[in-house]
Amino acid sequence: MPRFALKVEYHGKPFAGWQRQKDLPSVQGAIEDALSRLEPGAHTIAAAGRTDTGVHGLGQVAHCDLQKDWDPFRLSEALNYHLKPAPVAILDCAGVDEDWHARFSAIERQYLFRILMRRAPATHDAGQVWQINHELDVAAMQEAADHLIGNHDFTTFRSSICQAASPQKTLDELRIETVQGLSGPEVHFHVRARSFLHNQVRSFVGTLERVGAGSWEPLDVKHALEACDRSACGPVCPGHGLYLARVGYPDDPFS
């Protein structure tokens, strides 16, 4: 059966996450329903990562197996037609080998988290940023974040329902910057690793926000990491500011 890689963009607000769930809307379910319009029958797609409720996708990657050897451009166009009006778009499509896997072939995942700093309620960016009404000390947050770079036991920043076999992960990048967004000043977190624990990025951001607000010192983050205790983590921030930005492969199927 021909296998196709799909690069997917989506707004997470209407969905109970990526993964198909009974009686709840999901991104996976929306794409599988669109596939069934093209080739009748049940379809199961696999993704590079399962995003939670409200989390967005800029460059999620999934793969599907079909009976027909579709032209990739025609497949993406047909899927986008049948995905309407769901806020899901197939940005690119490529034929791949039958042993290529969106999850297991990936060597890197990059996330973006957006914080909007303003007092007035967000209108255009509502549901796409975590809004706070105070300024953040980005330099202090970066100092704290530097303690998290490298290979560590990330138990402190791991959800209690995480199903990963080990809390040991290598964090390659956690870069924080201030940008001027359309709705006001934003703080962006750029986070990169081969793989992540459940709620790891949101735990990082919620904890680092406490540093930026002055409630924690940068060294407190190092102590929290070393505690290997979930209770040492700061607040877990909401999912609607989080984006799966990019998935990396040894040979990019979309290049």
Quote the tokens at residue 52: 């939670």
pLDDT category at 47 given cuts 50, 70, 90 is: very high
Joined together, the tokens standing for residue 226 give 């070393």
Answer whether residue 254 is part of any domain.
Answer: no
Q: Which pLDDT tens digit goes with each residue over 122-143? A: 999 999 999 999 999 999 999 9
**∠ CA 110-87-66, rounded to 5°:** 80
> Do residue 212 and residue 92 come from a single domain?
no
Q: Which among 11, 15, 3, 8 is positioned nearest to 90, based on CA atoms?
A: 8
Residue at 253 is within a domain: no
pLDDT of residue 163 exceeding 90: no
Same-domain pairing of 130 and 217: yes
Which of 48, 82, 105 is where one domain is finished? 105
- Average pLDDT (155-164) is 92
Instruction: Please tell me whether residue 66 adopts helix, strand or coil conformation.
Output: coil
Looking up residue 50, the CATH number of its domain turns out to be 3.30.70.580
Q: Parallel, antiparallel, or unpaired: how do β-strands 56-65 and 242-248 relate?
A: parallel
- Per-residue pLDDT of 196-228, as tens digits, reads 999 999 999 999 999 999 999 999 999 999 999
Same domain, 139 and 240: yes
pTM over 0.75: yes
Q: Is residue 251 part of a domain?
A: no
State yes or no: is 52 an active-site residue: yes
Residue-averaged pLDDT of the chain: 97
What is the extent of the structural domain holding 13?
3-105
Selecting among 23, 33, 52, 252, the annotated active-site residue is 52
The confidence band for 160, taking pLDDT boundaries of 50, 70 and 90, is: confident
**Helix ranges (DSSP H) in the chain:** 27-38, 72-83, 138-145, 200-212, 218-227
Which residue has 């007035």 as its token pair?
A: 120
> What pLDDT shows up at residue 161?
87
